[in-house]
Structure 1
Amino acid sequence: MTPKRNIKKVAVLGSGVMGSRIACHFANTGLEVLLLDIVPQDAGTDRKSRNNLVDTALANALRSNPSPIYLKSFAGRISTGNFEDDLHRINTCDWIIEVVVERLDIKKQLFEQTEQFRKPGTLITSNTSGIPIHLMAEGRSEDFRKHFCGTHFFNPPRYLKLLEIIPTKDTAPEVIDFLMHFGEQNLGKTTVLAKDTPAFIGNRIGVFSIMSILHYVEQHDISIDEVDKLTGTIIGHPKSATFRTNDIVGLDTMALVANGLKQNVPQDEENELFTLPPFISEMISRKWLGAKSGQGFYRKEKGTSGSNYYSLNLRTLEYEPTPKVKFPVLDTVKNIDDMPGRLKVLFADKGKAGDFYRHIFFRLFAYASNRIPEIADELYKIDAAVNAGFGWEMGPFEKWDALGVAPTLTLMEQMGIKAAPWVYEMLDNGAHSFYKIEHGKKLYYDIPSRAYKIIPGTEAFILLDNIRDTQTIWKNSGVTILDLGDGILNLEMHTKMNTIGGEVLEGINKAVTLAEQSYRGLVISNEGANFSAGANVGMIFMLAIEQEFDELSMVVKAFQNTMMRLRYSSVPVIAAPHQMALGGGCEICLHADKVVAHSELYMGLVEFGVGLIPGGGGTKEFALRLSDELQEGDIELNNFRQRFLTIGQAKVSTSAYEAFELGYLKKGRDTVVMSRNRLLAEAKKECLKMADAGYVQPAPRKDIRVLGSQALGLAYVGANTMFSGHYISEHDVKISQKLAYVLAGGDLSQPGLVSEDYLLQLEREAFISLCAERKTLERIQSILKGGKVLRN
C-alpha cells in the first residue's frame, strides 16, 4: 500500500517572473515555501548581497498588480536563499519545482546538484513550457526519475487555472494521481494530464488559434480592433481578446513559442501556420513588444485632457486613433445570454463577422481533432486546457457541439477543411455530440471504446449546468431554484451580472419558503462570471428621478425584509460566493448562517461610490458585528473607525482572505475553498452538517450595543478634516455623516442597546434621504452610463 503523501513545504528553484509568482501561490494555500536563485555575479560575502537577486524578484512580485498573493501577511510563509549557500535546505521539502531559464543544459546541471540534497521520495518537477520533460531526467537516479514530471503553470499562476501534468515513461502512477488531485483541490487548478509533446496541450492549441488569426488579418481586410471586438466576451473569451492579450503576454514570448512549434512539429499538417507574419517580425525588430515596452498592437499616450488610445494599422505599421467598431450581428446577439445560442447566430452571419468566425474556428476544430491522439488521448483534455489556460468559456469541441457536429462538418468540407477520421466514425457510430449530460454528470465521447464516459476527477463536483434541466423545481426571470438532493435547495441568480431586483427578491423569498416547508437547508450559489454585482441601481435611479420616494421606501424595505428572512429562517442558509460579491450581493453573504467562499472573492459594500450607504441591511449588520467585538475604552472607537472606513472608502477585498480582514467574512465561522468546481459541493456539505447538528432558528437581536454621540463626533470631525484637506467632497461629507449616524445608532447621549429593527429603520431613512440628493443621482447616472465613479 502506497503511504499517504503530505505536502507541507515546497522549494521553488528560480525566482523569475514565473518562479516568484508560483512561490506566492503555494504560500496562498498555507504551505511553507523556500525560494532559491543564483548568487549575483558582483555579490560580496554578506548574506544580503548574495540573496539580492531572489529578494528583489520576490519584492517585485509582491508589488505587482494584480497581486500574486491573497494577503500580504502570507508572504511571511516564503523564505529566500541562493543555490550556493542554501540548496541543502531542500532536504526538508516535500516538493521541489524547478523554474529556471529555458535551457536544457542549465536545468540538467541544477537537477544534478539537487539530487545531492533531495531526500528520497520527494516530488521533483519542472515548469518548463518548451523543453521535452524526458530529456531533463536523463542521467538521474531511479528514485529521482520515478518522482519526476512536468508541472506547467500558466502565468499569472494565481489567476490562470491551467496546470498541465506531464509525466515521463518512468514517472510512478501514484505520483501522477497525487499531483492531479493536489493541483485541483489544494491549488485550485484545472489539472490536465498531457503528453510530452512540444508546447503540451494548452499552448499547442492556443498558439495555433492566435497564429491563425494573425495570418487571417494579414490576408483579409480586417483591423485589429475589429478582431478584438469579435474575439472577446461576445464569444466567451477574455475581455482582452486577441491583440490586447498578445500585448499583455508580450510579442517576443508569443514568437518564441510559435518559432519553437515551427521547428519541433515538422509533421504537423498546419506547420506553415507557425511562421511569423512579416509585421510581427518587424514589430519585434522595432521592440514594439506590447505592455512591457509601452507599445505593441496598441499604444496609450497621456494628453492634456486625459489618455489617448491608438491601435496599429498592420498595413502601414502606423498608430491611428482607436476607432469605434460596429458589426450588425453583434447588436443582434447582445441580448442572447445563452452562449450556444449566441454562437449559432454569430456563425450563421452572412457578413464580415460570420466569414471571420467560420474561417478561424472551423480550421481550429479540424486542427484540434487531428491532435488526438498526438497530444492527448481524450478530447475533453483539449477543451479543459484551452479554457483554463486562455480563459475561454467554451473550448473547440464544446463550441463545435454548440453549432452541431454534423452540420458544421458539412460546412467545413464545403470550405475545404477536413476533420480527423475519428469524427466521421463517431457520427457513423450514432454518436452526435462530443459531450452529453447524464444523471447530473458531464460525459465525453471516448474514441477507443466508442462510448461515453464520465470526465475523470469530476465525480465529486456539483455543477448547476449539469442538473438544471432535471432538478429545477421553480424559476422566474431572475432566479432558478434547484433540488441538490439530500434535502438541500440551491438558489441560482441569472440576471445580468446577477444584479438584484424584484424578481431576485421574489426568488429568495420563495426559496426560503420552500426550504422551510419541505427541505433541510438552502444554498445560494451560481455559475455566472460573478456571484452578484449588487442591487439594480437602474431601478433605484428611475424611482428616485421620478421622486417616487414612498415606492422606493417599499423597495428598500422589501430588500431588508428579504435579508432578514435569510438571517432568521428555520433552516440553515449557506452563501457560496465567487468573484464579485458587491453591495447587495455582499449583504446576502452577511446575512447567511455561513459563507463558503471561493478564494478569488472580491467582496465589498460599495454603495458610497454611487452616493449612498448600504441599504439592504449591510450598514445594520456592520453595526451588529461591531457590537459583538466591542471592548471598553478607546478600543471601541478604534473598532468603530475601522468599520466606518471600510464602508466609507468602499473597500473591496482582493481575495476571500482579505474579506476576513475587512470584516465581510467571520473568522471561525466562514471557510474558503480553493477549487471553484468544488465550491457548491462544499457548501452543500456544510449545509447538511448544520442541519444534522440540529439547526436552531436564531432569535432576532435586541442587544446591539451602539456608541451614539461619541462615535458620531469622531466621524464628523474626521469627515470635516478630510474635506478641509480637499481629500473628499462636500457631498462625501454628507454621505459620511449619514453612514456614521446609522452605525452609531443615532445621536444617543451615551452608549446603549438597540434592536435590529431600529437600525434597519435608520438605515432605510438615510438611504432614501440620499436618493433625494441631486449629487447622488449624478453619481448613479455616471455608473449607469459609463461605469465610472463620479466624485462630485
Structure 2
Amino acid sequence: MQTSHSGQFHIRKVAVCGAGVMGAQIAAHCVNAGVPVVLFDLPAKQGDPNGIVHKAIAMLRKASPAPLGAPALAELIEPANYQDDLHRLAECDLVIEAIAERMDWKHDLYKKLAPTIKPGAIVASNTSGLSITQLGQALPESLRSRFCGVHFFNPPRYMPLVELIPTADTQPALLDQLETFLTSRLGKGVVRAKDTPNFIGNRIGVFGILSVFAQAQKFGLSYEQVDELTGTRLGRAKSGTFRTADVVGLDTLAHVIRTMQDQLPNDPFHKVFAMPPVLEALIEKGALGQKTGAGFYRKEGKAILRLDPEKGEYVPADAKVDEEVAALLAERDPVNRLRGLHESQHPQAQFVWAVLRDTFHYSAFHLADIADTARQVDQAMIWGFGHSQGPFELWQSAGWREVAQFIADDIESGKAIASAPLPDWVFNGPVDQAQGVHTAKGSWNPAAQAFEPRSALPVYQRQVGAPRLVGEASSLGEDVVFEDDAVKCWTLPAPHPTDVLIVSFKSKMHTLSPEVMKGVEHAVDLAEGSFSALVVGQLADPFSAGADLKSMLPLFASGGPKAVEPVERAMQEMVLRLRYAQVPVVAALAGMALGGGCELALHCARRVAHFETYMGLVESGLGLVPGAGGLTWSARRAAELQAEGAPDAPLLAYLKRFAFPIAQATVSTSALNAREIGFLLPSDPIVMNRNELLYVAVREAHVLAEAGWRAPMPLPFPVAGRDGIATLKGQLVNMRVGGYISEHDFHVASTIAHVMCGGDLDPGERVDEGWMLAREREAFLGLLAHPKTQERIMGFVKTGKPVRN
C-alpha cells in the first residue's frame, strides 16, 4: 500500500489467498473495480501448478449471477500458488485470506505468507465468524497491527455488506483507509463489528433463520408458506427463508449454526441454536440446496417441489397465504401492521409476529455485545440479508414503546424463546424519550448511553442522498427550484457545486410520460437561464424503464398510430433538446436505463453510470423500433467510430456493433458491458458505490461547464444505404431459416436495419438528423399498426412480459 505526498493510501494490487467460491468472487469484484489481483491457491498435484486457480477463473466466466461485469475481466486475475509464487505478495498492498473456515488451516497459511508480505500492507481474513483475535495470533507481532477481519457477503459483486472487524492491536488509521477503499473503490456498505462469534450479520440473521425453523414447526406451516410470509411481504428477499438457505448452501448454514452452538454456550437463547433435524438429514443425504439440485426444494422440469419432512419426500409446492394475513402484511401503516399481527389469532399471523418478536428481543439483548450502535445492526441486515428495514428500524417505525411492551409481555408469559429480559435502556432514559434508537443526533450506543452520529470519514461526504434509517436526519438538504407532479428540479447545498441543476422524475419506474418529458424540457430552460449545467438523475433506482406505454394506449385505442405520432415526435424533440442544450447535460445512471430511458441518456453530453447499470434499446421485444433517436444516435456513432478508427474500413462493420444488440433487445449486464456494446463511451465515468453517483455526476457536469463545454454541431453523416440493408437482411434471413427468430422478429429487425442504414440511399450518402428521425417515426408508427406488435404490447401491459410471436 503506497502513501502519496498528501498522506493518502493507495491499494494498487490485491492478493486473494484461496480460490474457492468466495475467494474467486472477491477477486472478480476487485477486477470489476479496476484493481489488479493475484489469486493464490494450493499447487495442483498434476499438470499446471496453477491448475486449481485456472479452473476457478474459468468458473467465474460461467457462474450465475455473473461475478464479473464483463467476461474479459477474468484475464486480469493473475493465477498463483503457494509453492512457487509467494514472492508475489511483495507486489500487493492488501492481502485477503479466504480459505475454508478452519482455524488450524488459516494459522498454517499465515505462517507461510508472513515472511513475504510487503511492509505496510494490510492483511485481512474473510471469515464468516471465527475470532479475528485468535486468527491474528499466528502472525508475527510486526503484522498484528495491520491485521483485521473483512467479511464479504455472498455473492460479493451484488451483496453490499462488508463487515470490518478489528482486534485490540489493529491500527485505527489502517481501518479508516480500508473502510474508505471498500466503500468507494469496491462500492460496499461497511459495518464495523466487534470480534464476537459470527459478528453482526450472521449472528442476527442466522438467529432469525433458527427462529423461523422453530416457529414454523410450532405453528405447523410448510416451507413455501414460510417463504411467502418471510419474503417480499415482510420487506425481505423474494426467496424468503428456506429458498434463501438453498441458495446459500445448507452446509454453509450448518457451519454458521455450529459456530453459534459451540462458541455461545451461555447465550440465553442457546436452546434455539440446536441443529434442526431436517437440516442435518438433508446434509447427510448430500442435498445441500441449489448447488446439488435439491435441498428444501427441488426442481423437476418447470415444477418446483418442496420437501415434506414427515414423508421425507418432495411434493408439489402449492400452499397459499391466508387472505386475512396477506391483508395484514399489505397494511401500509407499520403501527397498524404490527399491532394487527400481534392481535390476530390466525396461526400464520402469530408465526410472523413470533419471528419478528424473537429478532427484536435477540437484537436488543445482544446489541452491546456485538456492535457499537443500533445503526450497525440495521445496516448489516439491510445490506447483508436484503431486508428493507433492519430490526431496530422496523421496531421503531411500528411504535417503540408499544412493541417493547408486546415483547415484555411475551417474555413474562413464556411465549418468547428466552426468559432474558429486554435491556433497561429499552424502557428508560434517552431511547424511551426519543421513542426509538435512531434520531437526528445519531443512533443508540448502549456502552456510551448516548446517540452516536454517523461516521465522519471523508468518504461519506461523497454519499449524496444516501438512504437514511427511520428517525435519522436526511443527508440531502436540497434546494428545490421547481416541482410539479411529474418532476423535481433541485440543487445540492454548498460545498457541492450549487450552479448545477438536477432534475428527477416522480413517475413509477421513472417512466417517460408526456408530463415528465415536458418537465425535462423545462429543466433545460431553467438550466440555460440560471445554471451552468444540468444533471438528469434519480435518488433511487431505476434511472428510467423507458416510455410510459400505458399513457399511450388510450391514445392508440381512440385514434390509432396517428394519435400516437405527437407523443413520438415530442420524445424526439426532448432528446434533441438535451443534445443541443447550451449547458452540458449529464445523465446519472443506475439500475435500468431501457428504451426511451436509454435514448435520453445517449443524447446527454456525458453519462456517469453506477457499475450495476443495465442499458438497452429493448423496443424490438415489443415489436417496435427505438423511436426517440436511438437508431439515429447509433447510425451517427457508427460513422464517428469509422472516422476515428480506420476510415477505409466499411461503415457496416461499425454499424453492426449497434444493429444486432438493438435487434435482439440486448440489455447490458453491467456498466462495463454497456461500454463494450457502445452505449457508454470511454469518457463516461463508472462509479462503484451507488450512493456516490450524484456526487460524481454533479462534479462531472460542473467541470464540463468550467472547461468551456459547447453543444455539438448538427453535422450530416454518412450512412450504409441500400447495400448495408441488403447485407444485414441476408444475415437475418439465416437467423430466421435457422429458427433463431420468428417471422415477426425478422420483420422488426429488417425495419431496424432499414432505418439505421438511412433507407434506400447510396452507400456513403450523407444525411442529417432530421432525415433519420423521420425514418424512425415512420418505422415506429408503421410497426405500431401491426397486429403482432399489438399482441406483444398488450401481453406486456398485462403480464410484464412481451409475447413471443
Shorter-chain TM range is over 0.9
Find the aligned partners of 2:340 and 2:675 in 1 and give their Cα distance: 43
- Pick from 476, 480, 483 the counterpart of residue 488 of structure 2: 480
Deviation at 1:354, TM superposition (A): 3.9
String of CA shifts for 1:436-461, please: whole Å, max 9, x gaps: 458xxxx4344425245234443332
Q: 1:720 to 1:330 in 2, by over 3 A?
A: farther
The answer to whether residue 450 in structure 2 is matched with residue 450 in structure 1 is yes
- Pick from 15, 20, 27 the counterpart of residue 16 of structure 1: 20
Q: 1:710 to 1:428 in 2, by over 3 A?
A: closer
String of CA shifts for 1:57-111, please: whole Å, max 9, x gaps: 2211222122211222222221112111111221222111111122112211111
TM, length-normalised to structure 2: 0.91
- Pick from 617, 640, 660 the counterpart of residue 628 of structure 1: 640
Aligned to 1:290: 289
Q: 1:310 to 1:746 in 2, by over 3 A?
A: same
Find the aligned partners of 2:477 and 2:36 in 1 and give their Cα distance: 44
Find the aligned partners of 1:341 and 1:481 in 2 and give their Cα distance: 33
Query: Which amino acid in 2 is paired with 1:709?
Result: R
Deviation at 1:742, TM superposition (A): 1.5
Q: 1:34 to 1:454 in 2, by over 3 A?
A: closer
Query: Which amino acid in 1 is paired with 2:658?
Result: R
Q: 1:462 to 1:733 in 2, by over 3 A?
A: same
TM, length-normalised to structure 1: 0.92
Find the aligned partners of 2:131 and 2:198 in 1 and give their Cα distance: 9
Find the aligned partners of 1:184 and 1:107 in 2 and give their Cα distance: 26
Query: Are 1:201 and 1:376, in contact at CA under 8 Å, matched by a contact in 2?
Result: yes
Q: 1:492 to 1:365 in 2, by over 3 A?
A: farther
Q: 1:354 to 1:685 in 2, by over 3 A?
A: farther
The answer to whether residue 209 in structure 2 is matched with residue 210 in structure 1 is yes
Query: Are 2:431 and 2:437, in contact at CA under 8 Å, matched by a contact in 1?
Result: no
2:372 aligned counterpart, secondary structure: coil
Find the aligned partners of 1:425 and 1:33 in 2 and give their Cα distance: 51
Query: Which amino acid in 2 is paired with 1:424?
Result: F
2:165 aligned counterpart, secondary structure: strand
String of CA shifts for 1:403-456, please: whole Å, max 9, x gaps: 122232233333336532222234566322332458xxxx43444252452344
Query: Are 2:599 and 2:628, in contact at CA under 8 Å, matched by a contact in 1?
Result: yes
The answer to whether residue 542 in structure 2 is matched with residue 530 in structure 1 is yes
RMSD across aligned positions (CA): 2.6
Query: Which amino acid in 1 is paired with 2:423?
Result: A
Query: Which amino acid in 1 is paired with 2:661?
Result: T
Aligned to 1:359: 354
String of CA shifts for 1:364-387, please: whole Å, max 9, x gaps: 122112222201111111111111
Greater Cα offset, 742-751 or 534-543: 534-543
Greater Cα offset, 398-407 or 659-668: 398-407
String of CA shifts for 1:448-500, please: whole Å, max 9, x gaps: 25245234443332116536786445444444333323133332334333333
Aligned to 1:29: 33
Aligned to 2:10: 6
Aligned to 1:99: 98
String of CA shifts for 1:254-311, please: whole Å, max 9, x gaps: 1111121022112222222221233222222333321112112222112xxxx22222
Greater Cα offset, 718-727 or 92-101: 718-727
Aligned to 1:80: 79
Q: 1:464 to 1:343 in 2, by over 3 A?
A: farther
Counterparts of 1:147-226 in structure 2, within 5 Å, are 147-226=146-225
Greater Cα offset, 625-634 or 55-64: 625-634
Aligned to 1:689: 703
- Pick from 456, 459, 469 the counterpart of residue 461 of structure 2: 459
String of CA shifts for 1:149-171, please: whole Å, max 9, x gaps: 11111111111111111111111
Query: Which amino acid in 2 is paired with 1:450?
Result: A
Find the aligned partners of 2:109 and 2:466 in 1 and give their Cα distance: 46
Unaligned runs of 5+ in 1: none
The answer to whether residue 582 in structure 2 is matched with residue 570 in structure 1 is yes
Aligned to 2:380: 385
Query: Which amino acid in 1 is paired with 2:630?
Result: G
Find the aligned partners of 2:755 and 2:40 in 1 and give their Cα distance: 52
Greater Cα offset, 718-727 or 147-156: 718-727
Query: Are 1:541 and 1:777, in contact at CA under 8 Å, matched by a contact in 2?
Result: no
The answer to whether residue 610 in structure 2 is matched with residue 598 in structure 1 is yes
Unaligned runs of 5+ in 2: 468-473
Query: Are 1:576 and 1:683, in contact at CA under 8 Å, matched by a contact in 2?
Result: yes
Query: Are 2:328 and 2:341, in contact at CA under 8 Å, matched by a contact in 1?
Result: no
The answer to whether residue 646 in structure 2 is matched with residue 651 in structure 1 is no
1:454 aligned counterpart, secondary structure: coil
Find the aligned partners of 2:192 and 2:68 in 1 and give their Cα distance: 26
Q: 1:171 to 1:318 in 2, by over 3 A?
A: same
Query: Which amino acid in 2 is paired with 1:460?
Result: R
String of CA shifts for 1:731-769, please: whole Å, max 9, x gaps: 112111211121111211342222222222211111111
The answer to whether residue 447 in structure 2 is matched with residue 433 in structure 1 is no
Q: 1:311 to 1:530 in 2, by over 3 A?
A: farther
Query: Are 1:121 and 1:143, in contact at CA under 8 Å, matched by a contact in 2?
Result: no
1:482 aligned counterpart, secondary structure: strand
Q: 1:468 to 1:778 in 2, by over 3 A?
A: farther
- Pick from 508, 532, 535 the counterpart of residue 520 of structure 1: 532
The answer to whether residue 368 in structure 2 is matched with residue 373 in structure 1 is yes
Query: Are 2:568 and 2:777, in contact at CA under 8 Å, matched by a contact in 1?
Result: yes
Query: Are 2:718 and 2:767, in contact at CA under 8 Å, matched by a contact in 1?
Result: yes
The answer to whether residue 713 in structure 2 is matched with residue 675 in structure 1 is no
Q: 1:663 to 1:2 in 2, by over 3 A?
A: closer
Find the aligned partners of 1:118 and 1:464 in 2 and give their Cα distance: 37
Deviation at 1:117, TM superposition (A): 1.5
Find the aligned partners of 2:152 and 2:759 in 1 and give their Cα distance: 53
Query: Are 2:478 and 2:492, in contact at CA under 8 Å, matched by a contact in 1?
Result: no
The answer to whether residue 570 in structure 2 is matched with residue 558 in structure 1 is yes
Q: 1:407 to 1:515 in 2, by over 3 A?
A: farther
Deviation at 1:330, TM superposition (A): 7.5
Deviation at 1:785, TM superposition (A): 3.1
Find the aligned partners of 2:333 and 2:288 in 1 and give their Cα distance: 33
Query: Are 1:476 and 1:503, in contact at CA under 8 Å, matched by a contact in 2?
Result: no
Counterparts of 1:257-296 in structure 2, within 5 Å, are 257-296=256-295
Identity percentage of aligned residues: 36
Q: 1:597 to 1:468 in 2, by over 3 A?
A: same
Find the aligned partners of 2:321 and 2:104 in 1 and give their Cα distance: 51
Deviation at 1:545, TM superposition (A): 5.1
Find the aligned partners of 1:767 and 1:232 in 2 and give their Cα distance: 40
Aligned residues: 776
Greater Cα offset, 371-380 or 423-432: 423-432
2:762 aligned counterpart, secondary structure: coil
Query: Are 2:625 and 2:748, in contact at CA under 8 Å, matched by a contact in 1?
Result: yes
Greater Cα offset, 194-203 or 451-460: 451-460
Deviation at 1:183, TM superposition (A): 0.6
String of CA shifts for 1:197-249, please: whole Å, max 9, x gaps: 10011111111111111111111132222222222233332222222111101
Find the aligned partners of 2:200 and 2:158 in 1 and give their Cα distance: 19
Deviation at 1:17, TM superposition (A): 0.8
Find the aligned partners of 1:516 and 1:501 in 2 and give their Cα distance: 23
Deviation at 1:726, TM superposition (A): 2.2
Aligned to 2:471: none
Find the aligned partners of 2:170 and 2:6 in 1 and give their Cα distance: 15
Deviation at 1:189, TM superposition (A): 0.7
Q: 1:347 to 1:31 in 2, by over 3 A?
A: same
Greater Cα offset, 176-185 or 484-493: 484-493
Find the aligned partners of 1:139 and 1:311 in 2 and give their Cα distance: 45
Query: Are 1:543 and 1:552, in contact at CA under 8 Å, matched by a contact in 2?
Result: yes
String of CA shifts for 1:314-368, please: whole Å, max 9, x gaps: 44443222226344368758998x7968966975784555433322112212211
- Pick from 422, 426, 430 the counterpart of residue 423 of structure 1: 426
2:593 aligned counterpart, secondary structure: strand
Aligned to 1:611: 623
1:490 aligned counterpart, secondary structure: strand
Deviation at 1:521, TM superposition (A): 2.7
